[in-house]
A and B are shown apart, each in its own frame.
Chain A
Amino acid sequence: MRPREETISVGGVGVHTWIGGQGDALLVLHGAGGNRGWTRWLAQVAERFTVWAPTHPGFGRSGDADWMDGIDDLARFHLWFIDAAGLGRPHLVGHSIGGWTAAEMATMSPGSIDRLVLVAPVGLKPEKGEILDVFYYSPPQLLTMTVHDPKTVPEWDELYGRAPTPAEVEIATRNREMAARLTWKPYMHNPRLAHFLPRVTNPTLIVWGREDRVVPVECGEQYRRLLPNADLTVLERCGHLPPVEQPEIFARLVLDFLGGHNRR
């Protein structure tokens, strides 16, 4: 089934959303790089779930939200999105800052979501190492630091293979500005989050790339320790973008964890 695109109004902000698939609702929150659209892993997961992949306010083709100051604002916003879109109690997958957002949502309202998948989420201050200062590097430099090995990324050509159009450059700049707005200080983390994570008893899968150069893999262990019902899976030869770097393996992990429409 082909996915469709809709703009869903939440609190006066138009949220550009990819929707597709069949089965229980699965909400997918993207990272700082923006919504990459209907990529391979989403198509695979959509065989068993109805995927809702909204673009955060201030990103891509969604409306502005200059009034937002941090990821907690984005988390409250996406809890509202769940209501506005009528998703009931969806499963939630979040990557990078989307993972941080998902974690914040779960601490705010654990009953609003079913199972939780956190993919290389920022949000915690690393006990060892540092989160890469992504705003200090140019987008091309960043791209090479984000993935382990471009040659192994199946969708590399589709996603990054050609020079961006002016409209795409404009969207990339807008994405980066909104990401800066939300995560500048404290940089990419919430010092209070660790105190709230123990509230989240939802079954949680944490996925990390062993070679993640953006967020230290040790942060995965921190999340696992703080969340009462979480498992951590570390993918070898994988950087900060597991859903793009290893789409088949990643989709399989998610499907196995969520179980599909027969699971109760």
Chain B
Amino acid sequence: MKLYYFSEMPHHEFPDEEGDKYPSLRLEFPNRFFDREKAAANYQRYLTEYEFADQAGFDGLMINEHHSTPSCVNVGVNMTAAILARTTRRAKILLLGNILPIEDNPVRMAEQLAMADLISGGRVLSGFVRGVGVETWWSNTNPVHNRERFEECHDLILKCWTEPGPFRWEGRHYHFRHVNPWCLPLQKPHPPIWIPGTASPETAVWAGRRGYTYVPFLVPSEIARELFDYYRQGAAEVGRTVTAENLGFLICAVTAETKAKALEAGRHFVWRMGPTLRAPTEYFAPVGMRSRAGAQFALRARPRSLATLSYQELLDGQFIVAGTPDEVIDRFSRIQRELGVGHLLLEAQESRMDHPTTMRSIELMGAKVIPAVAAL
């Protein structure tokens, strides 16, 4: 099983009581609380941690993108990929991912990903996501079109990568008369495509049909298994065999020399489950963004929202793993056995988890955990 390092690049640099005054940290929390000097230093710090994760032996570096929220100030996943393409050497660069429905120019997207792939020597894993509602508000994209735009944007990017230009694209949402990108990915036919899942059975089926790597995020393992069943259903429709390589899972994880230290560090993950997910329904799921089936599945997948779970409940539910390297290896092995995944994505830094703690965890993962789980 391969391990991936991930930080949301949080900006938890404000008094919590200020954030509590607003209906959500997303969309509504005023950006006068954005601290420019601290942000400048944090970007350097977060990139250093990614580079160290590459050196320490992580198989991949996962990056993502959000907007209008202190929970993640990585506002351009392709920008970060371009930096890591130059400053890292070995690990895959997993963009998970680009938010396709809010993208107005899929041709530019195809070009930028190709350029990152070329610069990195073919290390890009190109994740495509539908995004949460917050990004729909941020971009003012009609949520009713979310799935249609996701699929059409995907189709156009794929065509840019796989069919010779020039060609014309007149779709439902995208219109280009002269498509002929002079930048194509190094990997042939194109970088592997990854798709995350939280609650949409349609997405799992869709990814299964195409053989993309599918990764449920922070869901109970029984829900992950159910989503994998949808994925297998899609794969079976087209006669595809599903292997561990096709399946991943994302959790929060930190390790330290002692269990006490790890548990102390792991507490920082509670912020991303609680305060940063606190919001009226409409912020995360504006009208029309989810199908009725998706909305019903989401209710079942999360009978209680992550925001209402205590630290202990999050540990018990395996949303967070925090322990000594041996304990972490044990937990990861269990996840691998339960889910049969080939990729485990670790959100490994959060909130105010400090630089030394983060670096030490990366170091221990590299020295002990990664070699131990590699054979699983």
Contacts and interface: CB of A to CB of B under 8 A. Distances in A.
The contact size tier of chain B is 10 to 19
Interface in B240-284: 280-283
B31 to A, nearest CB: 18
B287 A136 contact: no
Contacts of A180: 142-144, 286-288
B44 interface: no
A213 interface: no
Contacts of B143: 180, 184
Given A177-B287, A177-B288, A185 B282 contact: no
B288 to A, nearest CB: 4
Contacts of B292: 173
Contacts of B287: 135, 173, 176-177, 180
Interface in B137-157: 137, 140-144
B282 A138 contact: yes
Interface of A is mostly: helix
Contacts of B286: 135, 180
A184 B142 CA distance: 6
Max count, chain A CB within 10 A of own CB: residue among B280, B281, B282, B292: B282
A187 B142 CA distance: 10
A137 interface: yes
Nearest to B283: A136
A181 interface: yes
Contacts of A138: 280-282
A135 B140 CA distance: 12
A210 B129 CA distance: 45
Nearest to B143: A180
A185 B149 CA distance: 15
Interface in B273-326: 280-283, 286-288, 292
B27 to A, nearest CB: 9
A254 B137 CA distance: 38
B299 to A, nearest CB: 13
Interface string A56-67: 000000000000
A180 to B, nearest CB: 5
Interface in B95-149: 137, 140-144
Which of A138, A173, A184 has the most B CB atoms < 10 Å from its CB? A184
B144 A184 contact: yes
Query: Among the interface residues B142, B144, B287, B292, which one has the most CB atoms of the partner chain A within 10 A?
Result: B287
A171 to B, nearest CB: 13
Interface string A127-139: 0000000011110
Interface in B176-199: none
Nearest to B286: A135
Contacts of B141: 185
B144 A185 contact: no
A177 B144 contact: yes
A180 B285 CA distance: 13
Interface in A155-201: 173, 176-177, 180-181, 184-185, 187
Given A135-B286, A177-B288, A180-B287, A185 B142 contact: yes
A135 B142 CA distance: 11
A255 to B, nearest CB: 36
Interface in A37-79: none
A181 B289 CA distance: 11
A137 B282 contact: yes
A185 B140 contact: yes
A176 B287 CA distance: 7
Contacts of A187: 140
Nearest to A141: B280
Nearest to A186: B140
B144 A135 contact: no
Interface in B311-346: none
A173 B292 CA distance: 10
A197 B4 CA distance: 59
B68 to A, nearest CB: 13
A135 B282 CA distance: 7
A57 to B, nearest CB: 14
Contacts of A173: 287, 292
Interface in A102-125: none
Contacts of A177: 144, 287-288
Contacts of B281: 138
A137 B137 CA distance: 13
A184 to B, nearest CB: 4
Contacts of B280: 137-138
Contacts of A136: 137, 282-283
B282 A181 contact: no
Interface string A93-104: 000000000000
Contacts of B144: 177, 180-181, 184
A52 B105 CA distance: 44
B104 to A, nearest CB: 12
B244 to A, nearest CB: 39
A176 B295 CA distance: 15
Contacts of A181: 142, 144, 288
Contacts of B283: 136
A38 B286 CA distance: 30
Given A135-B282, A185-B142, 14 more contacts: A135-B286, A135-B287, A136-B282, A136-B283, A137-B282, A173-B287, A176-B287, A176-B288, A180-B286, A180-B288, A181-B142, A181-B288, A185-B141, A187-B140
13 contacts: A135-B286, A136-B283, A137-B282, A138-B282, A177-B287, A180-B142, A180-B144, A184-B140, A184-B142, A184-B143, A184-B144, A185-B140, A185-B142
Interface of B: 137, 140-144, 280-283, 286-288, 292
The 7 closest A-B pairs by CB, nearest first: A184-B142, A177-B288, A176-B287, A181-B144, A180-B287, A180-B144, A180-B288
